[in-house]
Amino acid sequence: MNEIASASMLRLCQCFMWICNVHFVSMIAADSRFVFRNMAEASAVAPNADLLEWPKKDNRRFLHVVYRVGDLDRTIAFYTECFGMKLLRKRDVPEEKYSNAFLGFGPETSNFVVELTYNYGVSSYDIGTGFGHFAISTQDVSKLVESVRAKGGNVTREPGPVKGGGSVIAFVKDPDGYTFELIQRGPTPEPFCQVMLRVGDLDRAIKFYEKALGMRLLRKIERPEYKYTIGMMGYAEEYESIVLELTYNYDVTEYTKGNAYAQIAIGTDDVYKSGEVIKIVNQELGGKITREAGPLPGLGTKIVSFLDPDGWKTVLVDNKDFLKELE
């Protein structure tokens, strides 16, 4: 009986040791999977973190804003005679039935300009409720307003101090109904100074333009008495360069885009890397890529285009390719 009991105990001990070994091996395997998974996650996060730093290091600059007009020659005349802009270049693309004109206060190599688009046979467009205005700085708002009025322009706000502030401003409309704010300021290298767009969530929009495009929040203006808040975004101070003015009206989360305003173009040294950043930020905050990074057919200029969370379109353009276009 003692021999039988001893044999049984031996087998029991062997079974127990086998179970322990199996459990130990399983624990090691599970720990290994956990370690490897964490290593994989860490290796995925690190490149993303490095990539998200790219917009801040990139050579970014506002190039131009694109919108559609019903009579190209009429708008060119209005901008040159009333605002003092210069016609920089003009091109006709009959095979695609449109024409472009580029106007501004300085050369495209250094200044922000407008790109007017005329589509054959289309005389009017819907501006929508989301687009706000463009802004031009001048040393004498009253004088500029009188010039606009004398040439048949529509003055929608006479010169005077802005509500809640001391800046002297006025508002006028061009022949297509686009609103221009005229701001009295001292001399500046960039008189074409603002593009205002309305957004449904200002904090989200600010975060998007910071992370996706490397812009800085230059200032935030709270106007609770008028139920709106503004975020000024850009790459340089307001008095030195163009800024994007994002406006949030209390409790308004959506706007109509219409078909008049098109997009803003910004220069980049690498459209491919920039496109990957946009995809990451789109996943986090919304928006989408509308054209993958690559050269435009026939032109060769590399671009990537996308929508922000509110549906506003931006095109990033390769800096070297852009300069080749101007040659």
Just list the catalytic residues: 181
Tokens representing 207?
Answer: 């975060």
d(CA 204, CA 206): 6
d(CA 115, CA 67): 7
What DSSP letter does each residue of 146-160 carry, written as one string? HHHHHTT-EEEEEEE
Is the separation of the CB atoms in 174 and 75 below 8 Å? yes
Spell out a b/e string for 118-141, using b for 16 or more CB atoms within 10 Å of the CB, else e. Answer: beeeeeebebeebbbbbbbbbeeb
Tokens representing 230?
Answer: 């503004």
Residue recorded with tokens 């812009």: 215
Q: Is 144 exposed, middle or buried (0-12, 13-18, 19+ CB in 10 A)?
A: buried
Nearest to 168 by CA among 146, 200, 142: 142
- Torsional class of 68: left (φ above 0), alpha (ψ -120 to 50), beta (otherwise): beta
CB neighbours (10 Å) of residue 244?
24
Q: Give the three-class secondary structure for 3.
A: helix
Tokens representing 129?
Answer: 């409720």
